[in-house]
Amino acid sequence: MKDLDHQHIVLGLCGSIACYKSAELCRLLVQAGATVQVVMTQAATQFITPMTMQALSQRPVLCSQWDVHTADPLAHIHLSREADVCLIAPCSANFIAKLAHGQADDLLSLLCLARPISAVPLLLAPAMNPDMWHHPATQRNLATVAADGATVLGVGCGDMACGQTGDGRMLEPAQLLDEVIACLQPKVLAGKRVLITAGPTFEAIDPVRGITNLSSGKMGFAIARAAREAGAMVTLVAGPVSLNTPHGVQRVDVLSACEMLQAVSTHIDHADVLIATAAVADWRPVTVASHKIKKDTAVPMQSLVLTENPDILATVAQSPRALRRELYCVGFAAESQDLLAQTQAKRERKGVPLMVGNIGPATFGQDNNTLLVVDDVGHREFSNAPKLSLARRLIAEIACRMGG
């Protein structure tokens, strides 16, 4: 099943050079399973043709309330009633001003004003010059439309068609797709703060070598995205991985286990949930050579002395807030055999209410996983599925246990 199966999206385009991104956005929405009805302002047709958007959406594009080809004289009413989400991308400064003042002089502004506010989310993806974005009038209008119930998705920073560099770029199509998907997910962690660790750690031996493991971080990153979709404010402490940060997630990059502990300690006081998915190295060298250790060195690698790394999850689980149940702790166990017994033992040893086990060699670097969820009552298995699907199930489990 695709993320947007059975969802109907009204995609509105305003006058902006960023309309070129809307073609790719429409394609991504359709690929994700949605039906897409494109509605364009007259200004938008100066940047991209309705025929292009019609070919991508496979539906007639609507540009005017008075279009003789539009058989429905109440299109502005019915379009908004049929939609699951209205996404305006790009959304110009002019259109934001119209929404802020309730003006409705074209089909797109009419349907936005006519939509049932409580039933149909309105997402705005602004696109404009940096000076226009930072102008006090634009910022006042953005605050007004947000207070009226619209969701302003924010902007990117970078080079502009006008030659300037700064804030105001429309978010990329893949980011906007994620925002639409997130909008439709249950907000079971709304208002909660979630701290997640992900990936391996790297324990240096010398400037070019170290101790690490095969964890890719994909499960932790999927959980970070799922938690953010569920309405949480998410901080992701990531070891050395090559993964894109889920949109809307605050990321803190670390290298070693000690650095990860320091980052967790910095953010834990504000967290409601800790989900420790990181595969933290158990050991690190006592000393780190300042230069590469050569084969002919007087200190052979066989004499490498190791010391145990701090146990991040156990340390947090024994903190006063965790013991008072003000902080809900979830751990992960990456095992190679006897998964149930090893996960149960690790849960008791760490002192956490919930431990999630998986077979590390079978999941490291893969897009799918199988999870075993263990608590003080028993266990249940989440059968093999994409990691994002499993992450959403796990977040729902955590929210239920927290009373969400």
Q: Which two tokens stand for residue 207?
A: 């400037």
Question: What H or E segment, with its residue span, contains residue 255?
Answer: none
Verify whether residue 162 is a known catalytic residue.
yes
In 180-272, DSSP assigns E strands to: 193-198, 203-206, 209-211, 233-238, 250-253
Query: What are residue 334's phi and psi, to 5 degrees?
Result: -100, 105
Chain-centroid distance of CA 143 in Å reads 23
Separation of alpha carbons 21 and 15, rounded Å:
12
Q: Which of 336, 332, 342 is nearest to 382 (CA)?
A: 332
Catalytic choice (162, 183, 258, 329): 162
Q: What residues form DSSP beta bridges with 87?
A: 11, 123
Separation of alpha carbons 221 and 178, rounded Å:
14
Separation of alpha carbons 54 and 26, rounded Å:
10
Separation of alpha carbons 159 and 138, rounded Å:
20
Separation of alpha carbons 222 and 175, rounded Å:
15
Residue type, 174: A
Separation of alpha carbons 149 and 168, rounded Å:
21
Count of positions (residues) in the chain: 404
Question: Residue 166 — left, alpha, or beta (φ > 0 → left; ψ -120 to 50 → alpha)?
Answer: left
Q: Which two tokens stand for residue 71?
A: 């058989």
Give catalytic residues, as residue numbers: 162
